[in-house]
Amino acid sequence: MANDPAERPHKPKSKYTADRGMPGAYEGETVTRRALFTGGALAAGGLASAAFGLPALGFALGPIFERTEPESFEDVGPLADFNPQTYVPKMITIGADIGEPGKTTVYVRKHDPSRDTDHLGYPYVAISTRCAHLGCPVRYVQAAERFICPCHGGVYGFDGKVAGGPPVRPLDRFETKIQNGRVLVGPRFSVNSHLDKFHARDPSNHLDGLWKYLYPRRPTTP
């Protein structure tokens, strides 16, 4: 059984290309020119891809390690300042490190169980003035009970839902709570057409149907 191939001692593979019978091999070389050039081309391609890909990856992932959205609640006034029939404009700060540009107006009213259809559970409704189309400031018109955007004709109902024009979702809202007889306004959040709560999204980002998967959340959206 000495001639059985399975019992023959294994001969280690030579490191020289000539011993391995490779075409174009030279005595004493361990890597063929073809393999060297192929490896060099792959390495150059990898470096070029990294040069384009790494900056884009850093731009996409970098904001994850930043935090600009406020975590604290801000006092906007006593309970007596607000009622369920109309909104009261209040100024709050959403970017503490940038001065006046970090301030915004928010419309606040008391939640009305007989009129409001949301199930968010907040005692007061605090609606953002940022249009969900392109971010222009909207204003509330009490006579029509509508939020109106002067830029592109966006119209929202009393609860912030889209009533007309190009906006893709209702107006954003802010969390609210009561503390020591005062109304406090907290972080911003977005809602879909059913007034379900989502993390804050940028203007023009959909939150309904398949479109919402094309607009992932940007972590630093204030």
156: which 2 tokens?
């929202």
Q: What is the mean pLDDT of residues 128-135?
A: 94
Angstrom distances, CA of residue 214 to CA of 103, 161, 204, 210: 29, 21, 11, 8
Domains detected in the chain: 12-65 (no CATH), 74-214 (2.102.10.10)
Grade residue 70 by pLDDT with cuts at 50, 70 and 90: very low
Please report the pLDDT score of residue 91 as a whole number: 93
Return the closest-CA partner of residue 191 out of 177, 204, 208: 208
Judged by average pLDDT, the poorest of 89-98, 172-181, 197-206, 209-218 is 209-218
Residues 6+ apart with CB under 8 A from 188: 69, 94, 128, 172, 173, 174, 200, 222
Please report the pLDDT score of residue 46 as a whole number: 75
Residues 6+ apart with CB under 8 A from 172: 127, 128, 130, 132, 188, 189, 190, 191, 200, 201
pTM of the predicted model as reported, rounded to 2 decimal places: 0.66
**Residue that is written with structure tokens 């470096």 in the block:** 47
Q: Residue 108 and residue 44: Cα distance in Å, rounded?
A: 59
Provide the percentage of residues in the chain whose pLDDT is more than 90: 52
Condensed to tens digits (0 to 9), the pLDDT of residues 190-204 reads 999 999 999 999 999
User: Is 98 or 86 the better-scoring residue by pLDDT?
Assistant: 86
Q: What is the mean pLDDT of residues 6-29?
A: 56
Provide the percentage of residues in the chain whose pLDDT is more than 70: 66
